[in-house]
Amino acid sequence: MNVSSKQQQQVAGANGVQKCAVVVVIDPGHGDTHDESSVVDPGAVGGGLQESDYVLEVSKLLKGKLAARTDVIEAVHLTREGIANDPSQEKLLWRQKVAVAKKADIFVSLHLNSNANTAALGKEVYYNQKASNKAESAKLAASLYAAYKLPLDPRGVKTMGLSVLATYKWKSKKLGIWRDSTIFQSVKAAALFELGFISNTGDRTAVLNNKDPIAEYLCEGICSYASANRAALCGP
């Protein structure tokens, strides 16, 4: 009988030798120049805060916290460590290539929301209900949402159905928000987290002043999901 390396690690972990190797890829949204121009995509901007810079800072903090959780996480990678400026790569698709190259089990993309209505506020977590991994992605999204404790208006866990994908097709291309189905099916669980509204003064202040707690909440959400779903993550 052929046994996958992850199955071997799962069995070894049960015997106290080695735990299942879970690989996480964190995607700091935006911050790239992968299109016909050389202009860096800043994402949303408001109150002196730039989405691409902010989510990169939080992602680096999160990477360190996840790397310390050797009881659950084998390896953690970022899709970018700074500005991603390889013009030969297709915008957004390069993020998927990183996840595939790193053999990611879990993929989490971090963003800040924005709205012309400055009263809009709160956290949102998205997963793709049309993807083959929708069941695991829903669990990951719920775990992330529950762990995120900032006093933000709870907007909820949202699915990305075909109608939403169609609605966001233009937004995905122009703003770097990855809400297409392909990347969500290249890993075992994937979610996109909008940490708050940069366009809302209260949200913006909350996220700006709580980078480390936010990274801790996200770490807990990912690790809680991974711990509770080893069978799905460690399978073939």
pLDDT digits (tens, 9 = 90+) for 110-130: 999 999 999 998 888 888 887
pLDDT digits (tens, 9 = 90+) for 168-206: 333 333 333 445 545 567 799 999 999 999 999 999 999
Closest by Cα among 223, 189, 207 to 55: 207
When comparing pLDDT for 234 and 28, which is higher? 28
Q: How confident is the model at residue 33 (pLDDT cuts 50, 70, 90)?
A: confident
Q: How confident is the model at residue 89 (pLDDT cuts 50, 70, 90)?
A: low
Distances in Å between the alpha carbon of 28 and those of 12, 23, 143? 33, 16, 19
- In the prediction, which pLDDT does 54 show? 97
Domains of the chain: residue spans and CATH: 22-234 (3.40.630.40)
